[in-house]
Structure 1
């Protein structure tokens, strides 16, 4: 089955056929996916692909096969930079493609299976991709040495050109010869002092295609005879279909079928408009027996009661917290309330599936493609090798596509199964489906108590955290330890501060509402609760919020100290939290191995904060591409800012989600985005994550600035109550 593409898209997807070495690579799939063709169909020279990550074509282009889905966070550029550095390639010859689904060949070394998440793309690929590039370089050098009859040691490589001082060649002419060589074991890596690309700004490889419209997303695909399918999902979490009447739906022109599937009722049509019209005409009676029928307000009160009465599981303890709080000169107590949050990526969920004679091919923004592949194969009763996965570019995710439950794989598989025939179908989710479809950042309560002695020292810290587990009940449950889900409280434990008497408890709640990691996962609420509460304690003790934090840092927290001191310098911090009509607040938080400190500047505009500037100092190890790092910090700040100011998913009567589009799920507008200044701490430590660490500190920095300016402590998020509250 062949896709229908415009001429420009054909040009974008076309590539020269070239050669294979040492490993057997998967066939190059359509629509950006796949490593390389093992051999030319005409029997000519093999393509130079010295490993599963690199292909060198006769026209000198170097294509890097990216095992991490590109959702806008930059792995195509970052990982290609690592390869280009070790190959001594010229940046202009670099290209990138998404890898196909292959849990063994393209596994995330942090997870043990192919997947993207937890800000691990650069961290787990840094050495692996450099080694791939070094191997390719060594083979090209040996090929040149053989062709020229010289010692390989005489050959130098720079900007994609090899020379021994007499002979000269680019990569392409040597590719066929290099393909016949055996890759060396452990090709030497560069000394970081020799880096010419790593650490310098490079334009993103996918920016041009995304700007001129030639980049192909799942929604762009159009297969011959393909039908569009939309699903009527239950309006309450975990509701099911009791009965339905499809009479009116089937009378809509273009609607070809209506089928009940486990997820709801699927409407098949010849166009998206017809499918949506057919769905609107459906009459469905929903069964809410197993559903969540409480309102958000009722659930929150239940959570608060648990925080006040249940001890939960002990997560971390040092000293004697009860004695410390009893003997404290002053004890502060604050309850922080966090709502459910949707991810709201720009591109809602979608996928395409084609079934032909017992063979399946699917296209989608699969963040954990192995899970979806297994789901599709199981539903259709096929072996795994009968299901070919093409991983597409994705228009954002923020955790939404990271489905261990294979939500989309299950839906697209059930759609094909219910059709009962060969064919092609495109599953389309609308914005309304996206916002009401569950898999939210968990609703959470933190009950914090802290004690201060007569000298203003923080002597006691007790945090009780109440929320649902993201990991329990699914494949990720194996990562839990003694019934404890670290994603529920990460960031509230192992804090950098020397607190002599400390206790952290976690109370797990149960609800049919499906929850999922959201950009920065547990850190999204723990950073806010801990850094806002710490600020309250420091202010109560009469201490400078920056110096007070510095004084509390443990001696070995050198990276925390460095980013905090640097952001204070950037913002010209002088201890004054209010200057004229502006308030200033600070927050420090480490997540995913990356250290970030932020200072926010806010104004009071009709009783609501207007964030005018944010300074951020970040230490993420070696800065492979500073341009991408700054972009991710800026994006993370904007995302987090919108969440704390406006975002909330609320359940109304009967547990029905109230927010259905951006009129009620208020997003940050471009005119509300503050000026952001980012400085990256120089480091020789291997890279850590950058996609998420910019988000956690912005909320508490804003809250601390707002409290300094107005005296109003925001403990229930968002700042602006939901439209339907």
Structure 2
């Protein structure tokens, strides 16, 4: 069974990989599940490279992720470098994780630095036992881990000082990078570091009382802020190795299509082009890789290719026809998740019927996908902004013909990802390794960087699935829901992956329905259909909550309006006392926004929504208007319950960014559509993202708490769109039923 605390979170993408025994401490995968995953595609922890550096004597039972020597390096000048076990791609873990460790280490924050880890087993998620940045788990799962790492390192420094001075360690204390003793004795961490590393690693450590924190909980400027704001930050796309070549790929216009004919003479004649390779691609497709001295030469070579594609053997999805198919499916019987009695619908005093349509969405990070591969005689190295470096390392080993322990994945800072850099197929890593191997076989024994263009990225698949929701609700004059009959249609992102056995039950993908009914005690019947489509799909920031929150929160608002109740008061009545974190977040947002207390400018209206995802509750109170037929979001007030905010400044930034991404789903052009199997969008000119002029004023308020932190990377996104829609509905009398909004 899952621990109670985790069971309460079900279902969450990537958060319930395995059933496990009841326990309260961090653990790795049970042996049986470990073997299943190893056979399914390679998450075998024991196959990763062993720690290269010498280890201090460890207490019996300590695991690699509990060893401070893998995470803390202290230089002679006192600089402390903390290795992070997650990918930094904008969410702030490059600062927050060092803050946690430095707190218990009692380090001088001014001397703390950070760096990325690798596919080393020490850097696996301590709860899942696999390398993962996803599911808003970075701080939540590593909070205790990094505190204990810092406390263990501090204890070793104290022991080293006690041995140097021949005193009882209990007479010593630490302060901001120094060990202090009686009589004015003191030694810097830098002086003691070498001796400390030879001390035994303590198994048990005492952690600080949160009231004594001096780093955790304080608004802190990010360690990477200066580099990023000055343009000096290096990302995976910036990797430059001696002799490095760059590859781009000509991809088929329809997913899974193959090459019918190829003429590459003109491409090979482009100055700087080194070779042209016909290569297998993801999902059985074929493509052509052009390898050159740089990106521009490779692109020109690709442009010069004369290609004809064979699309005869693959399904050609058409968005209009697909919607018609989904509507037909929604009228059919199917697997059920909730199965309440629907008899009260027949005699309900009031009924509400609604259909919602959500399009495919591209991840569209600012840094397109890339991976650099250097192959040697006895192994290979990868430089990539990976959310799953262990999985990607295993995939690289299979392609390159090496053992997993012969692959080193150097995790690079990434310019966004939103789930696209965590994929079970390791598609872009496999392609990069395939091309590097073929380039080496062609006589070029050099590193090869495979780089996607923006157009490749937008057209390249693995989208947030298209969904259709249909609801029929019966309720009385007091707003009591008597029966809620709901159908959801959309592709499964889990089916066909090694997560399927754990996250698809009764034919229902747990990630598709997360957020349905919660936190309201509603008598719901939920029917789910997962049609197969020739469109690759994947989790997208906040996963199922991207559509379920919208459906739930707009329908709840409609019932409140239909029964002439204030939407905040109605929600509070439904929530009751069973969800105090929801109440606290909503109350905070209402209070700080002056909802209902101040008069809004003419033409503006309030909108409200609250939603929990990844164990964090976010409530929004917004002000919006409609100008010349277009919806405008003016002001957003957020109430956030994420338990302890390790770095309030990062929490604020995460909410601002997630709210903007949520706004993006509402704006015209925010949709991926297909015609005859081809994606019709290609760049930001026809796949809209918000501009600076779209950014509303956002204020963020966090409910005070000393409880262990919950996730923050994704929870700010889901409630923004429904809050915006509810404001629009109050102005127009009609709730937008389709995203992006279509008001005409």
Same-fold call, TM > 0.5? yes
Q: Which of 479, 495, 513 pairs up with 1:489?
A: 513
Deviates more, 1:584-593 or 1:49-58: 49-58
The runs of 5 or more residues in structure 1 that have no matched partner are 1-32, 40-48
Instruction: Tell me the equivalent position of 1:363.
Output: 383
Q: Deviations over 1:592-647 (max 9, x none)?
A: 00011101111221111111100110111111110110110010001110122235
By how many angstroms is 1:484 displaced? Answer: 2.3
Q: Distance in 1 between matches of 2:164 and 2:128?
A: 42
Residue 560 of structure 1, CA deviation = 0.7
Residue 588 (str. 1) matches residue 613 (str. 2): no
Q: 1:566 aligns with which of 588, 593, 606?
A: 588
Q: CA deviation at 1:213?
A: 3.4
Matching of residue 467 in structure 1 with residue 487 in structure 2: no
Match of residue 323, structure 1, among 343, 348, 351: 343
Alpha-carbon offset, residue 523 of structure 1: 0.4
Measure, in 2, the Cα distance between the counterparts of 1:570 and 1:325.
Answer: 39
Counterpart for residue 627 of structure 1: 649
1:132-176: CA deviations, max 9, x gaps? 000001111111112122221221212212211420122000111
Task: Tell me the residue number matched to 1:266.
Answer: 289
Question: What is aligned with 1:638?
Answer: 660
Equivalent residues of 2:636, 2:696 under 8 A apart: yes
Could you report, residue by residue, the CA deviation over 1:573-602 in whole angstroms, capped at 9, with x for unpaired residues? Answer: 228997521011100100000011101111
Matched with 2:542 is: 520
Select 1:130's aligned residue among 129, 135, 147.
147
Pair 1:58 & 2:76 matched: yes
Match of 1:346 among 338, 359, 366: 366
SS at match of 1:509: coil
Question: For 2:356 and 2:597, how far apart are their aligned partners in 1?
Answer: 26
Q: Are positions 1:159 and 2:176 aligned together?
A: yes
Instruction: Tell whether 2:186 aligns with 1:168.
Output: yes
1:215-614 alignment, distance < 5 Å: 215-263=233-281, 264-307=287-330, 309-318=331-340, 320=341, 322-419=342-439, 420=441, 421=443, 422-480=445-503, 481-493=505-517, 495-499=518-522, 501-574=523-596, 580-614=602-636
The structural deviation recorded for 1:438 is: 0.3
Alpha-carbon contact 2:319-2:675 (below 8 Å) kept: no
What is the alpha-carbon distance in structure 2 between the residues aligned to residue 403 and residue 411 of structure 1?
Answer: 13
Return the alpha-carbon distance in structure 2 between the equivalents of residues 66 and 50 of structure 1: 12
Is structure 2 residue 719 aligned with structure 1 residue 697? yes
Return the offset for 1:712. 3.1
Q: Is the 8 Å Cα contact of residues 35 and 99 (structure 1) preserved in structure 2?
A: no
Shift of residue 92, structure 1, vs aligned partner: 0.5
Q: Which residue of 2 is the match for residue 184 of structure 1?
A: 202
Q: Displaced runs of 4+ in structure 1, greater than 6 A?
A: 33-36, 575-578
The equivalent residue for 2:33 is none
Three-state SS of the structure 2 residue aligned to 1:646 is coil
Q: Find the aligned partners of 1:572 and 1:50 in 2 and give their Cα distance.
A: 48
Residues 219-228 or 520-529, more deviating: 219-228
The answer as to 2:221 corresponding to 1:197 is no
Q: Deviations over 1:539-595 (max 9, x none)?
A: 111111100100111431111111111111111122899752101110010000001
User: Which of 70, 73, 78 matches 2:96?
Assistant: 78
CA RMSD of aligned residues (A): 1.9
Classify the secondary structure of the residue corresponding to 2:135: coil
Task: Give the CA deviation at 1:720.
Answer: 5.3
Counterparts of 1:19-30 in structure 2 under 5 Å?
Answer: none
Q: Pick from 118, 131, 154 the counterpart of residue 114 of structure 1.
A: 131
Q: How many angstroms does 1:37 deviate by?
A: 5.2
Secondary structure at the counterpart of residue 645 of structure 1: coil
8 A Cα contact 1:527 1:696, kept in partner = yes
**Aligned match of 1:23:** none
Change (3 A) 1:539 1:575: farther
CA distance in 2 between counterparts of 1:529 and 1:290 reads 37
Query: Matches of 2:347 and 2:372 in 1, distance apart?
Result: 64
Task: Answer whether contact 1:546 1:575 (CA < 8 A) is retained.
Answer: no
Task: State the distance in 2 between where 1:375 and 1:146 align.
Answer: 47
Q: Aligned with 1:423: secondary structure?
A: coil
- State the distance in 2 between where 1:72 and 1:181 align: 36
Superposition deviation, residue 35 in structure 1: 8.6
Q: Is the 8 A contact 1:35 1:65 kept in 2?
A: no
- Partners of 1:294 and 1:651 within 8 A in 2: no
How far apart are the structure 2 equivalents of 1:294 and 1:721? 27
Describe the SS at the equivalent of 1:624.
coil
Contact 1:317/1:504, CA 8 A, preserved across alignment: yes
Q: Deviations over 1:184-213 (max 9, x none)?
A: 111111111211111111111111222233
**Given the superposition, is the C-alpha separation of residues 290 and 539 from structure 1 closer, same or farther in structure 2, using an over 3 Å criterion?**
farther
**How far does the alpha carbon of each residue in 1:661-685 deviate from its partner, in whole angstroms, 9 at most, with x for none?**
1110111011210000110001122
1:123 and 1:686 in contact (8 A); partners too: yes
Given that 1:545 and 1:575 are in contact with CA atoms closer than 8 Å, whether structure 2 keeps it comes out as no
CA contact under 8 A between 2:317 and 2:533: conserved in structure 1?
no
State the partner residue of 2:156: 139
CA contact (8 A) 2:672 2:687 kept: no
Q: How many residues of Structure 1 are paired with residues of Structure 2 in the alignment?
A: 675
Structure 2 residue 124 is the aligned partner of structure 1 residue 101: no
